[in-house]
Amino acid sequence: MRVIVVGGGVLGTMHAWQATARGHEVVQIEREPEARGASLRNFGQIWVSGRAGGQELETALRARELWEEIGGRVPGLGFRANGSLTLVRTERELAVAAAATERADAAARGYELLTPDEARGINPALRGDFTAALWCARDAAVEPRVAQLALREVLSATGRYTFLGGREARDVTPAAGGASVRDDHGDTHTADAVVVCTGAWLGGLVRELAPELPVRRVRLQMMQTEPLGEALPTSVADADSFRYYPAYGGDALSALVQGQPQAPVAAEHRMQLLMVQRLDGGLTIGDTHAYDEPFDFDVREEPYDHLAGVVEGFLGRPLPRVRRRWAGVYAQCVDATRVVHRERVRDGVWLVTGPGGRGMTCSPAIAETTADELGW
């Protein structure tokens, strides 16, 4: 087969990976010279720990297997099975962590409740103040700023993959036995199947293909520091993250939400701490959530001050100088129970979008499912 993938982010690239792995020829079209959206502007976390039970968790666990398999073939991904520690300080936070370890699927996630000394045995950089930690052994990480480039290098070596950057898909029409894509250079590309994975770009062609798309956009702010000067062996989260991941729902979370308000700035910006060390030693730290458009064009300073204070409290030391600050936007299904929106929008054309904050985690398994359903 010949497959066209529209979109150069991680979801599109994983669809290209699946197609070439199954022996097909792939043309990938990206409107920017290189992908520049949420696929780069994230933590690079393979975040199994907070996923909802059932299909979402199954998708994340399968994606975790695929990430490790692909990482073995593509060293440039920087895959590492680093696990995560969610640090708690209060009795209500501890109750949520303890309830998570009682889930029927706790073992599949690698959940374990640790004392501070046990947590520091895994991550000695955590010299600050916390009373317990929820360990998730199945979490992992990759390097988001270079992942697509590393994947494309291996894809190109197959001789069956072409990347066309700086081209915007303008129209997709059925063709004999498949579909064709016309780009803004005036070129037409024909294939047996077209998969549109344009992330948070929901206007233009996407709106024409799916006018009533059940997907919204979410904006977030993040930052990255200079090298820490020591290893941070695990990803790190704070207990505010319990409020944003479905795995922690239940009576204990309700008691936390009702009885322990977030800090005002964290509540205003719907914040949690997530932190991952990059291969160069710097720390990627975030994040905020904004759901109401039009989004601010400003990058607000108060959330960064809050995050720096939380991190310094856990590390027991000053944060290195901040090197970069940025904002990003991702696409999320309005129905939070759905991992992704996958729709046949025209003959031979499928739209795959809306994984939300699960995109980096779940994209290999989402692409695998698409390939299976389309009979690749």
Mean pLDDT for the chain?
Answer: 96
Token pair for 244: 């944003």
**Separation of alpha carbons 362 and 46, rounded Å:** 8
Note the pLDDT tens digit of each residue in 189-213: 999 999 999 999 999 999 999 999 9
Note the pLDDT tens digit of each residue in 248-278: 999 999 999 999 999 999 999 999 999 999 9
**Are β-strands 178-183 and 169-175 bridged in parallel, bridged antiparallel, or unpaired?**
antiparallel
Q: Is 316 helix (H, G, I), strand (E, B) or coil?
A: coil
Yes or no: say if 361 and 47 are a contact pair by the CB < 8 Å rule: yes
**Are β-strands 235-238 and 84-88 bridged in parallel, bridged antiparallel, or unpaired?**
parallel
The confidence band for 361, taking pLDDT boundaries of 50, 70 and 90, is very high
Half-sphere exposure in the Cβ direction for 316 (13 Å, CA): 9
Yes or no: say if 288 and 282 are a contact pair by the CB < 8 Å rule: no
Token pair for 36: 């520049």
Residues 6+ apart with CB under 8 A from 78: 44, 71, 141, 142, 143, 146, 147, 279
Q: Is 242 helix (H, G, I), strand (E, B) or coil?
A: helix
In this prediction, residue 337 carries a pLDDT of 86
How large is the average pLDDT for residues 338-357? Answer: 96
Query: Does residue 176 surpass a pLDDT of 90?
Result: no
Which ranges constitute the DSSP H helices of 123-263? 144-156, 205-209, 251-259
Which domains does the chain carry?
A: 1-81+140-214+338-376 (3.50.50.60), 84-137+215-333 (3.30.9.10)
Yes or no: say if 339 and 55 are a contact pair by the CB < 8 Å rule: yes
Q: Using alpha carbons, list the distances in angstroms from residue 113 to 131, 272, 323.
A: 11, 20, 34
**Separation of alpha carbons 140 and 144, rounded Å:** 12
How large is the average pLDDT for residues 308-326? Answer: 97
Token pair for 316: 């027991």
In this prediction, residue 336 carries a pLDDT of 83
Note the pLDDT tens digit of each residue in 10-42: 999 999 999 999 999 999 999 999 998 999 999
Query: Does residue 177 surpass a pLDDT of 90?
Result: no
- With the C-alpha atoms ordered 19, 20, 22, 24, is the resulting torsion angle positive or negative? positive
Yes or no: say if 151 and 167 are a contact pair by the CB < 8 Å rule: no
Yes or no: say if 205 and 13 are a contact pair by the CB < 8 Å rule: no
* Paired strand residues for 330: 218
The confidence band for 3, taking pLDDT boundaries of 50, 70 and 90, is very high
Q: What percent of the chain has pLDDT over 70?
A: 100
Peptide bond connecting 294 to the previous residue in cis, omega within 30 degrees of 0:
yes
The residue among 160, 83, 95, 70 whose CA lies nearest residue 123 is: 83
